[in-house]
Every structure is written in structure tokens, then in C-alpha cells.
């Protein structure tokens, strides 16, 4: 019998008592707690955890070796520990009670629970500022804390979103031995609300632990397992896209998207086993990072933040990363007119990136130009030409001079295309006007609808 089977047996026996205990006594106990501590929700929650501790009094440390179980289990298996063995009736009753507690009280309670769990890994430690010192827990209390914490996070996942910055910003919660607990905590929140779980992953867990390509592969594996678990949920894509902007914040912020893009497109000799997993998840991460109504406030903000990040990515001497960054850079230009001015400000200091973007516009003119503002693009390349001329006079570095000259060549090509396009349009309008006038002279009774159709066909051509 393995640890999981032993735990299921022991906890199953305990849960039989728990079901009878709670369903018979729960309402009386909770009413008593609320009556005694009506305005002290923190005490209510502590007593709530204590009642579960009593229910699991028969569970010993050897019967619930949670640290070993978490270390040896995949995210998909650990996510249901221990609630898979708790009665639905108990979970529903408790969840209804939890939903009536305030977010502030639940936030403190969640931190207290996590502190209690962490204390078993690193010895007793102080809780949040102003709170009492966390004492090491008995085996029964360990089980109870996992149970009440899981039920709290599943019923009120927003609470974790609020406290996650405190967790990931404090070294006492960080470390390879503590990571499975943090991953388990986020997985519980995602069970209650997929968007909240993804928000915690993208804003806190991933950027904290995967900011460096040389990071711990074990940590990276756990972080990716959690992401894969979230994305594997039925209708995950539509659920996440519907929550792509949460209270004014993007579900996948630009900084996290930049990190994910770099992990997905490393240089060939830096590929690792996890690279394929990044590649598999990249399309949905990109979709979430760029999601939103065109021209909306959140999309404009994302474009302004992403544009300089893409410019830096293009200077990594990585052809695949550059191609992807160029595409995102051009997307930024299509979403926000201010992006053109932003590009002008960083143009010379990111001349290699600018060359890559200008080259893409020239080569794929038929596909790219309809998406860009002709007026803004024309003004921008005109300013670039002036900057190029001034820079060539003052720059002595041969490499930079070559880049500026190449950029200038593309600027002239784009400017020429835009100018010719405008001239051709004017000429076409003159020709059409003359044709219409001649038609009226020759055929005064000519149908106006036919004239309109003729003009439309010429303009579309």
C-alpha cells in the first residue's frame, strides 16, 4: 500500500466521523461561535480550524506524511489532497459559512494557515507583523489546516489574489522545499475560479521563479505543471479570455509575457527539456497577453509596456525571438497611435530593433501596411530620416553607422510607398471625376446608382 492509499484509508475513516460530527453539530457550533465572537471574525476562523483539528484527532504524523507526499506527487495528484476524501455535504456547509466572512479576515486566516504549514518545514517562525508566533502543529492540526485552507481558497479564491504579493515578496515562503505548498495553494484557488488561479500564476509565481533562463529546473517543472493543469480544464481558453482583464489588470501582464516569449524562443544551444512545454502553451499565453477590444484603455496600456520590451528582445542576437518580437512590436503600433511617438523616443538607442521592424514593414508591405496608420507611419519615418542624417554626422562607430544607413534605406522605401500611394489615389480621383463629368455631358439622364457603382469599383481597385 503506497502513501496515497494509506492516506485515503486513514482520512476516509476519519471523515466518516467528521461527516456525522459536523452534520449533527455544525450548525449549533457555528451559531455558538458567532454568538460568542460576533465581531471577531479572526477568532471565529481560529475556532473553526480547531473544530476540524478535533475531528482528525486519530490521524498521526506517520499516517499523513504530507511533506513527502507533496514532494513525490505531480500537481495533478496533489491538487485534490485532502479534499477528495471529504464529504460534499461537509464542503458545501463549510463553504457557505466561509462565504460570509470578510475578505480581510480570510486573508489573515489564509496567511496564518500557510505560516502554520511552512513552520513544519523550517521550524517555528513569526507570522505576519503584529500576529502571534506560529507554533508547530500536531498531526491532527496539520490535516485540519490543509482541509480548512483548501475549502477557504476554493470558496473565496480572490483572497489569494490579494495576499499573493505578500507571499512571493517574502523569502520565508520561498525555496524549493516550500514551492510545492505554494503551487498547491494556487491550485486550490484555481479550482474555485480558474481566472484567479491564472492571475496568481502569471503575476506572482511565474515571474518570481522563472525570471532567469538558468533557474532551477525542478522549480520550473512545478510551475509549468500548474500552468498545464490550468490550461487543461474544459473550456479553459474561453474562460480565461473572458477574464483577460481583471479589475483593470491584465490576466497575463506584459512583463510575464515577455519572460514567457523569451523562454519559448531561446537560442538553439540554450534549449532545454521544458522548451517544448513553453512552445505548447505560448499561443494561449500570447492570446491572453494581447486580448481586449482594439483601442481600449487596457490594450493601449499593454502596447505601451510591450513595445520597449520587444525592442530589447530584438537585440538578443536570436533570429526566432526577433521575428516574434517584431510581430508583437507591429501589433503595438496597430493598437495605439502613441506607440509611434514612443518608437521615435527609443529609435536610435534601439537601432538594430528598428531596422528589424522597418525591414518587416517593407518586405511584407501588402499585409502590414493596411493595419498601420498611414499618416502616423509617414510622419514617423520622416522624423527617422532626420534623426538618421544627424546621427550619421555625429557617430564614428562603423557598426552603428551601418545600422543607421540600413534603417535609412528602409525609411526611404516606406516613405516612397506612402507618397506614391497618396499620389496614385489623387490621380485616380481626378480621373474618376473627369469620367463622371464626361458621362453627364454625353448622357444627361445617366443613372446615379451606376455612377456610384463605377466610382466604388475604381476606388476598391
Domain ranges of the chain: 1-121+139-188, 193-288, 292-416
Predicted pLDDT of residue 59: 76
pLDDT computed for residue 36 by the predictor: 59
In terms of C-beta density within 10 A (0-12 exposed, 13-18 middle, 19 or more buried), how is residue 441 classed?
Answer: exposed
HSE-CB for 135 with a 13 A CA cutoff: 4
pLDDT at residue number 38: 64
pLDDT recorded at residue 215: 75
pLDDT reported for residue 23: 44
**Contacts with 365 (C-beta within 8 Å, 6 or more apart), sequence order:** 417
**What's the pLDDT score for residue 9?**
44
Residue by residue, what is the 3-state secondary structure of the chain? CCHHHHHHHHHHHHHHHHHHHHHHHHHHHHHHHHHHCCCCHHHHHHHHHHHHHHHCCCCCCCCCCHHHHHHHCCHHHHCCCCHHHCCHHHHHHHHHHHCCCCHHHHHHHHHHHHHHHHHHHHCCECCCCCCCCECCCCHHHHHHHHHHHHHHHHHCCHHHHHHHHHHHCCHHHCCCCCHHHHHHHHHHHHHHCHHHHHHHHHHHHHHHHCCCCCCCHHHHHHHHHHHHHHHCCCCHHHHHHHCCEECCEECCCHHHHHHHHHHHCCCHHHCCCCHHHHHHHHHHHHHHHHCCCCCCHHHHHHHHHHHHHHHHHCCCCCHHHHHHHHHHHHHHHHHCCHHHHHHHHHCHHHHHHHHHHHHHHHHCHHHHHHHCCHHHHHHHHHHHHHHHHHHHHHCCCHHHHHHHHHHHHHHHHHHHHHHHHHHHHHHHHHHHHHHHHHHHHHCCCCCHHHHHHHHHHHHHC
pLDDT at 34: 56
| Residues in the chain with pLDDT values less than 50 | 1-10, 13, 16, 18-28, 124-135, 139, 422-438, 451, 455, 458-461
Q: What is the pLDDT of residue 80?
A: 86
What was the pLDDT predicted at 379? 96
Q: Which residues fall within 8 angstroms of residue 310, CB to CB, at 6 or more apart?
A: 258, 325, 326, 328, 329, 332, 353
pTM of the model: 0.82
What is the structure's pLDDT at 20? 46
The pLDDT tens digits of the residues spanning 333-391 come to 999 999 999 999 999 999 999 999 999 999 999 999 999 999 999 999 999 999 999 99
The predicted structure's pLDDT at residue 458: 46
pLDDT of 248 reads: 86
Q: How many CB atoms lie within 10 A of CB 140?
A: 20
Amino acid at each position: 500500500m503506497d502513501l496515497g492509499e494509506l492516506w485515503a484509508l486513514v482520512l476516509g475513516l476519519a471523515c466518516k466521523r467528521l461527516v456525522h460530527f459536523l452534520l449533527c453539530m455544525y450548525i449549533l457550533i457555528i451559531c455558538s461561535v458567532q454568538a460568542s465572537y460576533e465581531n471577531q471574525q479572526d477568532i471565529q476562523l481560529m475556532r473553526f480550524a480547531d473544530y476540524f483539528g478535533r475531528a482528525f484527532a486519530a490521524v498521526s504524523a506517520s499516517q499523513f506524511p504530507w511533506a513527502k507526499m507533496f514532494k513525490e506527487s505531480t500537481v495533478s495528484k496533489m491538487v485534490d489532497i485532502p479534499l477528495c476524501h471529504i464529504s460534499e455535504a461537509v464542503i458545501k456547509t463549510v463553504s457557505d459559512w466561509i462565504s460570509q466572512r470578510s475578505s480581510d479576515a480570510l486573508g489573515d486566516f489564509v496567511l496564518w494557515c500557510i505560516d502554520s504549514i511552512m513552520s513544519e518545514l523550517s521550524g517555528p517562525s513569526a507570522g505576519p507583523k503584529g500576529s502571534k508566533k506560529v507554533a508547530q502543529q500536531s498531526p491532527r492540526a496539520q490535516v485540519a489546516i490543509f482541509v480548512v485552507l483548501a475549502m477557504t481558497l476554493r470558496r473565496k479564491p480572490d483572497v489569494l489574489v490579494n495576499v499573493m504579493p505578500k507571499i512571493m515578496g517574502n523569502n520565508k515562503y520561498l525555496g524549493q522545499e516550500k514551492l510545492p505548498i505554494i503551487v498547491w495553494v494556487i491550485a486550490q484557488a484555481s479550482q474555485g475560479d480558474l481566472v484567479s488561479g491564472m492571475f496568481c500564476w502569471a503575476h506572482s509565481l511565474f515571474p518570481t521563479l522563472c525570471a532567469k533562463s538558468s533557474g532551477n529546473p525542478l522549480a520550473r517543472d512545478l510551475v509549468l505543471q500548474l500552468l498545464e493543469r490550468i490550461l487543461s480544464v474544459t473550456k479553459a481558453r474561453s474562460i480565461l479570455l473572458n477574464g483577460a482583464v481583471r479589475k483593470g489588470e491584465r490576466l497575463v501582464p506584459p512583463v510575464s509575457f515577455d519572460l514567457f516569449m523569451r523562454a519559448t524562443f531561446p537560442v538553439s544551444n540554450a534549449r532545454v527539456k521544458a522548451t517544448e512545454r513553453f512552445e505548447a502553451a505560448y499561443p494561449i499565453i500570447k492570446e491572453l497577453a494581447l486580448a481586449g477590444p482594439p483601442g481600449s484603455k487596457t490594450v493601449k496600456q499593454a502596447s505601451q509596456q510591450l513595445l520597449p520590451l520587444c525592442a530589447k528582445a530584438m537585440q538578443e542576437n536570436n533570429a526566432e525571438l526577433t521575428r516574434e518580437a517584431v510581430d508583437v512590436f507591429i501589433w503595438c503600433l496597430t493598437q495605439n497611435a502613441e506607440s509611434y511617438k514612443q518608437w521615435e523616443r527609443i529609435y536610435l538607442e534601439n537601432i538594430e530593433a528598428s531596422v528589424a521592424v522597418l525591414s518587416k514593414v517593407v518586405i511584407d508591405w501588402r499585409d502590414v501596411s493596411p493595419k498601420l496608420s498611414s499618416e502616423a507611419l509617414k510622419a514617423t519615418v520622416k522624423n527617422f530620416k532626420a534623426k538618421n542624417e544627424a546621427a550619421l554626422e555625429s557617430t564614428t562607430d562603423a557598426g552603428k553607422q551601418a545600422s543607421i544607413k540600413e534603417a535609412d534605406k528602409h525609411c526611404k522605401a516606406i516613405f516612397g510607398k506612402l507618397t506614391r500611394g497618396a499620389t496614385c489615389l489623387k490621380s485616380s480621383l481626378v480621373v474618376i471625376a473627369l469620367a463622371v463629368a464626361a458621362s453627364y455631358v454625353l448622357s444627361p439622364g445617366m443613372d446615379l446608382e451606376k455612377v456610384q457603382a463605377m466610382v466604388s469599383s475604381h476606388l476598391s481597385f
